[in-house]
């Protein structure tokens, strides 16, 4: 596996993001992660990152082994190319346990960002103003609840980006707002599969027309995908079939002009949803 996929030369300013190339000092492990995820500090800076080494990836039946780190980086690259800018800076590089993805940690790692500003649980049927219903459920203690998400333009744009990336695991806890209120999306190791696998909690706009701003982003991404440098960068990060499918999904979204509907042949919501 190559250990870098630099944005310079892809029409992206190389100095627009923090430097994540310094030595990584391991601080601890994210215990609830299904794959190895290590909190690290970049030596000589105040930046913390999440480092996911390829050797710590758990084998999956539907994703080729050793490809999750590349998918994390591809998510950031696609988000930037289209102009969504919702995925934290992420690179592919060597670390203490070999090659892996390294992503800027959002917020203070010792005072985690709240993850209920985008997706939340409310008492069944009591959807507050400014929120959209996703589905009804029951808590482990038997309480009837409704899963809701914020009805905001940036969340809606994330739903479009997820459709482009074919995100198979958009949980509520993967949607964060920093102290300035900016939306960030994390955990993209199971994106970009060539087969339809969209699984998300952001279904509130299913079937609705796409916002004009996101149509513009889709067109911008499609233009970028025609460039040889972009194709070469993505082929470092993803299997060839997945790169092809990325372009096909982008064109399909532009043709339909609408948010996708849940599939009847694949679970539409990840578990757990939050």
Predicted pLDDT of residue 139:
84
Q: How many independent structural domains does the chain possess? A: 1
Calculated CA dihedral for residues 67, 68, 72, 73, nearest 10 degrees = -20
Residues β-bridged to residue 165: none
Give the C-alpha separation, 4 to 196, whole Å. 28
pLDDT at residue 1, as a whole number: 42
Parts of the chain with a pLDDT under 70: 1-16, 114-115
d(CA 5, CA 84): 19
CA separation for the pair 25, 231 (Å, rounded): 33
Does residue 173 lie within any of the structural domains? yes
Structure tokens at 20: 């994540």
Structural domain includes residue 5: no
Domain membership flag for residue 185? yes
33/187 Cα distance (integer angstroms): 10
Q: Is position 194 within any domain?
A: yes
Residue 265 lies in a domain: no
Q: What is the pLDDT of residue 12?
A: 52
What is the DSSP secondary-structure string of the chain? Answer: --S----TTTTS-TTSS----S-EEEEEE-TT-SS--EEEEETTSS-EEEEEEGGGPPP-SSS-TT-HHHHHHHHHHHHHHHT---SPPEEEEEETTEEEEEEEPPSBTTBPPPSTTTEEEEETT-PPTTEEEEEEEE-TT--EEEEEEE--HHHHHHHHHHHHHT-S-B-GGGEEE-TT--EEE---TT---SS----BS--TTTTSBPPHHHHHHHHHHHHHHTSHHHHHHHHHHS-HHHHHHHHHHHHHHHHH-BPPPPPSSS-SS-SS--
Q: Which domain holds residue 219?
A: 24-112+152-256
Contact 26, 96 (CB under 8 A): yes
Query: Is position 9 within any domain?
Result: no
Residue 238 lies in a domain: yes
Between strands 48-53 and 98-104, the pairing is antiparallel
Q: Do 234 and 192 meet the contact criterion of CB atoms below 8 Å apart? A: no
Say if pTM beats, i.e. exceeds, 0.85. Answer: yes
Q: State whether the Cα torsion 81-109-173-266 is positive or negative.
A: positive
- Residue 13 tokens read as 């300013």
Q: Does some domain include residue 191? A: yes
Angle between helices 212-225 and 68-82 in degrees, nearest 10: 120
pLDDT at 11: 47
């Amino acid at each position: 596996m190559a250990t870098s996929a630099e944005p310079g030369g892809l029409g992206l300013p190389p100095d627009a993001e923090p430097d994540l190339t310094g030595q990584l000092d391991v601080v601890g492990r994210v215990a609830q992660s299904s794959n190895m995820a290590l909190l690290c500090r970049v030596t000589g800076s105040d930046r913390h990152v999440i480092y996911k080494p390829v050797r710590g990836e758990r084998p999956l039946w539907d994703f080729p082994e050793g490809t999750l780190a590349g998918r994390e980086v591809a998510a950031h690259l696609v988000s930037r190319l289209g102009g969504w800018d919702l995925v934290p800076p992420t690179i592919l590089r060597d670390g203490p346990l070999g090659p892996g993805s390294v992503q800027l940690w959002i917020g203070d790692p010792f005072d985690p960002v709240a993850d209920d500003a985008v997706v939340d649980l409310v008492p069944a049927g009591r959807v507050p103003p400014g929120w959209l219903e996703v589905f009804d459920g029951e808590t482990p203690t038997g309480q009837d609840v409704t899963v809701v998400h914020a009805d905001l333009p940036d969340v809606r744009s994330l739903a479009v980006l997820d459709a482009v990336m074919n995100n198979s695991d958009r949980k509520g806890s993967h949607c964060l707002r920093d102290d300035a209120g900016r939306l960030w999306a994390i955990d993209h190791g199971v994106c970009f599969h060539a087969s339809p696998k969209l699984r998300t909690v952001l279904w509130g706009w299913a079937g609705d027309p796409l916002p004009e701003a996101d149509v513009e982003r889709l067109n911008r991404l499609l233009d970028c995908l025609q460039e040889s440098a972009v194709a070469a960068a993505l082929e470092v990060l993803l299997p060839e079939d997945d790169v092809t499918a990325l372009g096909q999904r982008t064109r399909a979204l532009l043709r339909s002009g609408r948010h996708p509907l849940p599939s009847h042949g694949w679970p539409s919501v990840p578990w757990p949803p939050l």
